[in-house]
Structure 1
Amino acid sequence: MRAVFGLVLLVGMGLAGFAVYMVNQYMEAQTAQLDRAREVAATAPATIEVHAVSRPLTYGELLTKDDVRIIRYVRDALPAGSFVTEEELFPQGVDVPRVVTLPMLENEVIMANKVSEPGASRGLTALVEPGYRAFPVQGRIASGFGDLRPDDRIDVYWTGRLRDGREVTNLIKSGLQIIAIIGEPGGRTPQNVIVQVTPEEVALLTQAQNSGQLTLALVGTGDVTATGNVTVDNSALTGEQDVVAEPAPVVQERQRCFVIQRSGMTRTEVEIECSE
């Protein structure tokens, strides 16, 4: 009986020791996890609550309170012009919406350069920056190229005839920003777009549309390459050289010399041989 009791005692002590060991291991693991969490929290960038759109929005739509949600954003990477408080986004109250001037994707941070002032008109006046003008441009695009969209940038080429009869194509403006599309898209050509230009560019584009045909070329996203003067005529395609007419030979007239002979009141010119 004593032997059995001693055996039970030994087994109990072993189980108790194993339980203590497992508890210590668990506590050490929990402590290590807490320490790692504290280290991550200490090195993680600070975040801030900021207003973003809750659904995709395109140009001309009204931005209301129902289209806004709060997200957390890295404080040091917050874009300039973001809205942190509701009072900044709707300073005249949530009943006075803003107009979307540039398309935004779902959960995209709302920035001041993508919305109008509160209460602004939904027309083109809300899309044009100060000092610029909205101008309609009708030009050809390649068939099957796709539809141009607001915020795209385009190069405008003019094709027409010069005074000497040559037909040329010139790059007249590069990197113009589209702020609106006229009519429904659908791959038709020509396509009408509204671009944002200076008053001087309005005059240039008006003259170009009245004197020739315009072609629109899409500029790649992020392309800031400076484009110089581009002029192409038929000779660049065919390789033909302009024929320059030889000047006509100069015919020198024979020099003639005269003397005056008088006979009474009569004066007569008599041709004589010229002396060298």
Structure 2
Amino acid sequence: MAERTDRSGGAPAGVALVTGASRGIGRELAAGLARAGWAVGALARDAVALDELVEEVTAAGGRAVATPVDVTDAGAVAAAVRALESELGGTDLLVNCAGRIEADEVPPWEADLEEVRRVIEANVLGPFHLVRAVVPGMVARGGGRVVDLSSGAAHKDSPVHAAYGASKAALFRLGGALTAAGREHGLLAFEVAPGVVRTAMTEGMATHAERTEWTEPADVLALVLAVARGELDAWAGRLVRAGTDTPASLAAAARAGLAPRARVLDVLPHGPDDPLA
């Protein structure tokens, strides 16, 4: 694979696969990675929007290839990854961005079960399908990095959107498992919470109806690029949040020393004598 230059930091870039790349945060990340010198494989359901993304990236001098796919279809995901990697080369960075949230803000016992199923399939099974299709190649080539688009809902209780919260907690645990199993193979996973970016999804949520402050997509991209360049490896298996954390602040915290349970999904002990501590 020809070496590419990450123009944001000067380090060699590679091949990045981004799901949910047709709109919202996924599109911002796909376009931003391409601007930084990465060859981007874009995955989403909307073929027309993907074509527009590829045209935009190509016009700006970048490289992107797109394949429409539903991430909940394991066979289709495997075929899409094979097609993209045959053209771009092996994946160095996987960004699991595709996802959904319940439309109704109701307590768990009022949730529509079909909608719950769709949220879990998109937010948990989808990333599992990508991991199964992409990660074996990463391990065989000596490693890679996986970024999961997480959320505060993964670690904070809420009276609504229970399926979304459960799915993001499950995704956090999947990322932790990837790091625990893959570290010796050079594989690391990171949970990047984007904050609240202005997208069609967030603007349609009653929770954010009166919001005036939004996370900038550039802040999310900065964290993903820092992960991709290997600057935040100490944060593998941990949560970072755009708009609050920056690559510089996270690097400084890592140099100062991270506590074993810092920013991980865990059960806090009730005190020093807690048998679960």
Greater strand fraction, Structure 1 or Structure 2? 1
TM-score range, shorter chain: under 0.3
TM-score by length of 1: 0.23
Larger Rg: 1
TM-score by length of 2: 0.23
Larger RCO: 1 or 2 (CA < 8 Å, sep 6+): 2
Greater helix fraction, Structure 1 or Structure 2? 2
